[in-house]
Structure 1
Amino acid sequence: MVPVLTSIMLDTRRALKGGSFPVRLRLTYQRQRRYYNTSYSLSEEAFAKVQAEKPKGKYKELQIAFQAIEQKAIGIIRDLDVFTFEQFEKKYLNAAAKNDVFTGFEQQVKKLAKEGRVGTASSNESASFSLLSYIHKEPITRNKGLSRAKAIEKRETLLKKRKPLAYSAVTVDFLMGYEKWMLQNGSSITTIGIYLRALRAIYNNAIADGEVNAALYPFGKRKYQIPSGRNVKKALTLADIEKIFTYQPALESEARARDLWIFSYLCNGINVKDIARLKYKQLDEEKITFIRAKTERTSRQNMKAITAMRSPEIDEIISRWGNKPAFGDAYVFPLLEPALSAEKERAKIQHATKTINKYIKRVAAAVGIEKNVSTYTARHSFSTVLKRAGAPIELISESLGHSNLRTTESYLDSFEDNVKKQFAAQLTAFKNVGK
């Protein structure tokens, strides 16, 4: 049997824009040659460095990537009963589709949507769209001002003209370039972190499925480390929280939003989604017990029930705004209806959050609070007020439903200035020494 010869070569017959040349897989069989595109293009000098006996840095990464492409082709050839270029191409193109980052994102989005995790699915869509924009150097990293239909239309337009993005092309240099481009386009470190963690998850899936060589993995120590933005401290002082408690709302909508913000603050910083899902059967005479929707799927083997102690203020809010009658399977607050689809539930929760934020900002402005107050502020204020009162960080962590103390520490704001002054005074309290 005549052998099929494979090689990775630099096609110098026609230069690309910028002076580089396409890197291609070449197959030779019975004196016939065919060439197959890869997602790489290099200068002649760079390609020579990749071909060196002991390349270093990014050239070593490229050598491993090229070897993986060739080994994939050799595996396909080996599995064919009879070799023909047509049969090879059919299987090679199918393998290339599995090796495409965007295909991985599409599969992940479908999976998440099927599980009802529409928020995470949407985040993955945004990450995929952002990467598409980077590859095409489109200044579209955010969808603010765009309807969902328009955003999808823009993404589909890019998809039509894009080439597959091989996992092997996602190198340390690629990720560094993406991060720089995102920052230049006005994205925050937090957004970059969210998108790249989604990409890392897709990459991990591909490795687990045997589609990608683990040696190509670009994340981790001494490789690319995903940036994490330091939380901007959002907690209010106890004096400012008192102003919100004692404020006299002018409108019913303002009163309801203010009360739901207070309910969140008093119930361990419970978020709006969990408030909306709260049912009367989760309330007993002394406490409210719930599991954060955010951790239902990520911690299924060790789900933490959060306990918030009932207080007269909490009971008054439930009495004012709660559903009547108060039977076990009824939602406590009229924010959701039974049997909603995941998409409709998410839309209602987003609307409720937007409404609360709109009115709590008005309340904050009316009482002279200069900070940007939102539903998220209630959670940070709950944890920070407990810290300032001397509560153990373990108690705060348990109350928030965190799995580790490091997460809790990122929530906690610094001490107020008057507390710092009290302790600073101890540095020169010489007259008290020995007494």
Structure 2
Amino acid sequence: MLIHATATAAIVLDTRRKKTDDTYPLKLRITYQRVRKYYRIGIDLTEPIWLEVEDKSKTRRELREIRERLSAFQSRAEQTIKGIENFDFDSFEASYFQNFTENVKEKALRNDIVPAYSRYIKQLEEEGRASYAGIFKSSITSLETFKKRLKFSDVTPDFLKKYEKWMLQEGNSVTSIGMWLRPLRTIFNIAIEDGVVTREQYPFGKRKYQIPGGQNIKKALTLAEVEKIFHFHAVTGSQEDKARDFWIFSYLCNGVNMKDICRLKWKNIEKDSVTFIRAKTELTNKSNIKPIVAVLTEPSLHVIHKWGGERVSPDSYVFPILSPGLTPKRERELVQYFTKFVNKWMQRVADALGIDKPVTTYYARHSFATVLKRSGAPIEFISESLGHSDMKTTDNYLDGFEDDTKREYTKALLNFNR
């Protein structure tokens, strides 16, 4: 009696070619009459993790979940084999992939991180947040350089630690690592809300992987340096004159950034104050948007009178930088051009004054906060003025005290005679 050999199915780790993140692909192996064929299943593991998966005494949740997924692949293959009367590989492939292609495709697409990034990037661009979208583009480019066809299931604390190590070996800074991983964290949070991944799969946080913060570089001037800029003699109407005026306006108006200056409308201006919502936050935290109110001093009012346009209506722009009806892309281009203009000519002002710092528009904002801190203003007031939602963000803005101030405070340690 002729006995036909039965095809068998198994999940194996294909160790022939290691990936850049030290993982190997898992494959479905079908064996029939000593012939073996391998099929990708879209899961990659390191060799140590694979050994733990095979060791049934290891019962961590992560390992149990992997075993369940692998068991499902193998069970489907075995059921397909049973349904083929005269087995051959062509029949197996036609049946196996016909029955499960749509389901597998849908799951694979939902598990794929790149489409998740693409959807969110498109949303940001439609909202006019092109610069923020650019950060997400750079993030996924970096991650895909480390590992192609990245899936949510690939991103574990161990994976993130290896990515961090790889980034450092490639000469990147800790700050860059944080910059590219924060968007990934956002994508994970969206995926959890959409039910694509579970909270247990979330790789960030305490006892998991914590994104490095990097060292914040302080960008504040001393009050003496600000005074030099304030009294800088520039030819009226010159490029230096205009750049200096807008830098001072930012410094005096709560460190308002150039985009928000460009977007100011006459309806935002009261007699001695300006009220606005930061463009950076108006599309986030929508339930908790707090307007920023800055007092208009005589010098800041002078900038408005000197460089402001005609008050045609409450909705007309204060400064003739933007115009109604611009596309988000064109608005961004004009804001970037104006910011570069201020930075370029402010550096010439700084050089002329002997200020050995890159006095950009960021310095106006940080100097506003730091000068207030050194004057004794409560951090709560500074935080509210900057429009921050938490004190930690404000603290990152603040530079330390000047040396003279430190000396004065230190004297109090020996101030025994009151």
The secondary structure found in structure 2 opposite 1:231 is coil
* Residue matched to 1:97: 109
Residue 339 to residue 6, structure 1, CA distance change in 2 (3 Å)? farther
Aligned mates of 2:74, 2:379 — CA distance in 1: 55
Q: Residues 16-415 of structure 1: matches in 2 within 5 Å? A: 16-17=17-18, 22-25=25-28, 35-43=39-47, 47-55=50-58, 61=62, 64-68=65-69, 70=71, 85-135=97-147, 162=148, 164-250=149-235, 252-325=238-311, 327-415=313-401
Aligned partners of 1:76 and 1:324: how far apart in 2?
Answer: 74
Give how far 1:413 is off.
1.2
> TM-score normalized by structure 1?
0.82
Q: Give 1:157's aligned residue.
A: none
2:264–2:276 CA contact under 8 A, matched in 1 = yes
Shift of residue 46, structure 1, vs aligned partner: 5.1
Identity %: 46
Q: After TM superposition, give the deviation of residue 379 of structure 1 in Å.
A: 0.7
2:408 matches 1:425: no
- For residue 199 of structure 1, what is the amino acid of its counterpart? L
**Could you report, residue by residue, the CA deviation over 1:326-377 in whole angstroms, capped at 9, with x for unpaired residues?**
5311111122111111111111111111111111111111111112211011
Contact 1:76 1:92 (C-alpha < 8 Å) held by counterparts:
no
Distance in 1, Cα, partners of 2:75 & 2:255: 57
Task: State the alpha-carbon separation in 2 of the partners of residues 7 and 88 from structure 1.
Answer: 18
Deviation of the 1:66 alpha carbon: 4.9
Structure 1 pair 103/72, CA: closer, same or farther in 2 (3 Å)? farther
Count of residues in correspondence between the two structures: 392
Hey, what's the Cα distance between the residues in 1 that align with 2:29 and 2:222? Answer: 67
Preserved CA contact (<8 Å) 2:53 2:66: no
Give 1:208 shift: 2.5
1:109-148: per-residue Cα shift (whole Å, max 9, x none)?
A: 112222222222111111111112222xxxxxxxxxxxxx
Matched AA of 1:111: Q
Deviations 1:270-305 (A, max 9, x none): 001100000011101121000111111222111111
DSSP-derived class of the 1:308 partner:
strand
Larger Rg: 2
Q: Output the amino acid matched with 1:133.
A: T
Query: Deviation digits for residues 60-103 of structure 1, max 9, x if unmatched?
Result: 6455345346558989999xxx9753131232123212211112
**Gap runs ≥5 in structure 1:** 136-161
Go from structure 1 to structure 2 and tell me whether the alpha carbon gap of 1:17 and 1:420 turns closer, same or farther (over 3 Å shift).
closer
| Segment of structure 1 superposing worse, 18-27 or 320-329 | 18-27
Three-state SS of the structure 2 residue aligned to 1:324 is coil
**Cα distance change on mapping 1:335 and 1:182 into 2, 3 Å:** farther
Deviation sequence 1:36-61 (CA, Å, 0-9, x none): 33241544x6523221124388xx64
Using the TM superposition, give the Cα deviation of residue 314 of structure 1 relative to its aligned residue in structure 2, in angstroms: 0.8
| Structure 1 Cα separation of the partners of residues 132 and 307 of structure 2 | 30
Provide the C-alpha distance between the structure 2 equivalents of 1:373 and 1:275, rounded to a whole number of angstroms: 18
CA RMSD of aligned residues (A): 3.0
Normalising by structure 2, we get a TM-score of 0.85
Unaligned runs of 5+ in 2: 1-7, 84-94
